[in-house]
Amino acid sequence: MPALVLHLAAIEAHGDSVAPAPGWHYIRPMCGRVRLSSDYSEIKIRLKFAADAPAPNFAPDWNKPPTEPMLVAIRSVDGKRIPKMMKWGLIPHWAKDDKLQYSTFNARSEDFTTKPAFRDAWKWGQRCLVVTDGFYEWKKLDAKGKDKQPYAIAMADDGQMVMAGVWAKWKDSKSGDQIESCTILTCGPNKVIGELHNRMPVILSEPDWPRWLGEEPAAEEELLAMLKPCPDESLKIWPVSKMVGNVRNKGPQLAMPL
């Protein structure tokens, strides 16, 4: 098994302790490549952000990899739903440096509450909604997996794909900078994604957003019960160019159907 594949397997099992793999920015974990190209004015309405919340600054990106800024929704200290840009790859508050971000962009929903990298974020209620327009996944075309076809996945209604996440604050002891970062929770696949991969991001429906953010009360058991595959009919999928395999490619042509 190639070293990078072994590294990804280790990340899924031990996301709190795996060192970054060389060439990580070309690997394709689940979920490790997303799109965010919608206009913020549309997102603000759909996500019901507070009217007085400052607009985040982000450029359209059809091929966003881990460690880049992600648009997330959190509940502010005064109870408002606000947007934030957070580094994709959670850096726990106790980390000595930021290297963990390379292996903490996903967290397994089945056991993240006990993993050192994520358990404090969960304990402290630092849950977030990760806002995307969808993600990519690769289907193996041969037994050895050397030949793969990328697919784009989006919501069937063309709305935002809102994923469950947790977030953390970390202070760089050298520079004094405070960095906010997040991870996307994953679960087993539904039938549609199961044709491509054995994991998928937890995609939350709008009625679940208030409870996940803590705007409405929910027991821990209720929150964990949300972390399941979304219905097959809520997604659409289509093949796209292999150009998406290189993160240097960013444009809208990457999501065009073949």
CA distance 174 to 193: 42
Q: Which residues of the chain have pLDDT under 50?
A: 1-28
The pLDDT assigned to 21 comes to 39
pLDDT at residue number 200: 97
Q: Tokens for 141? A: 């075309």
pLDDT of residue 144: 80
Domains assigned to the chain:
3-255 (3.90.1680.10)
Beta bridge partners of 161: 132
How is the chain split among helix, strand and coil, in percent rounded to 5?
25, 30, 45
pLDDT at 174: 87
The pTM assigned to this predicted structure is 0.88
Give the per-residue pLDDT at 9: 35
The DSSP bridge partners found for residue 132 are 161
CA pair distance 10, 16, nearest whole angstrom: 10
Residues 195-228: tens digit of each pLDDT = 999 999 999 999 999 999 999 999 999 999 999 9
Query: Which pLDDT value is given to residue 143?
Result: 82
Q: Comparing C-alpha atoms, which of 233, 33, 230, 9 is closest to residue 108?
A: 9
Alpha carbon separation from 71 to 82, 185, 215, 258 (Å, rounded): 10, 15, 19, 28
